[in-house]
Amino acid sequence: MIIREILALLIAYLLGAIPFAYIVAHLRSKVDITQVGTRNVGTMNVARELGVVPGFIVLGLDMAKGCLAIFAAKWLGVSLWWLFLTGFVVIIGHSWPIFLKFKGGKGLRPALGVLLALTPLEFSIIFVLILVMFYFTRNSGLSTGVGLAILPLLIWAFGKEIRLILYPPVIGIFTGLRSLVGMKPQAIKESIGTFFKRYPKLKKRN
């Protein structure tokens, strides 16, 4: 029945809309995370402004939102296509939360939680790779991007169906576009400048 599917999507949005970065920052340091740093309601802003431990707490909680949304939808017995849609809706809830006047994070961490729930073994391997890459590069976008690019190959190697193979790139593109939409022109220029500072040889070639 369509009622189960609608309920799954509603649960996904409400879970996604819980602003854990805002809550952790307020409980930890009485800080309004929407007013400091990049003003993004997400893991990296919390980590930069409040420290690594609060950042990891937010990382775990935001990923848990994605996992729980998928688990709830599975419990309701919806089809795989509805599970995929549930994944998108939890990201939408995180990005445009009703509890913060529809101003939320970029949705990457809930997306990771969605992929963990759908492909637990394959994603666990990739997540270790992401953490190792982040340790050496200190670039969360690069580390996550490389991990998400490799994940479909790993899912294919484990013999999973084509829909599960194609879903990670689609959700990766979705979150990437969400990040670009949420960035102001000045922020984009600063990001490009930071990239070339890290890799000056690329700037010389151009």
Distance CA 84, CA 182 (A): 23
Answer whether residue 206 shows pLDDT above 70.
Answer: no
Q: 3-58, pLDDT tens digit by residue?
A: 999 999 999 999 999 999 999 998 888 888 888 888 888 888 888 888 889 989 99
Domain ranges in the chain? 2-205
Mean pLDDT calculated for residue range 56-65: 93
Q: What is the pTM of this model?
A: 0.82
Start-to-end Cα distance in the chain: 56
Q: 66-100, pLDDT tens digit by residue?
A: 999 999 999 999 999 999 999 999 999 999 999 98
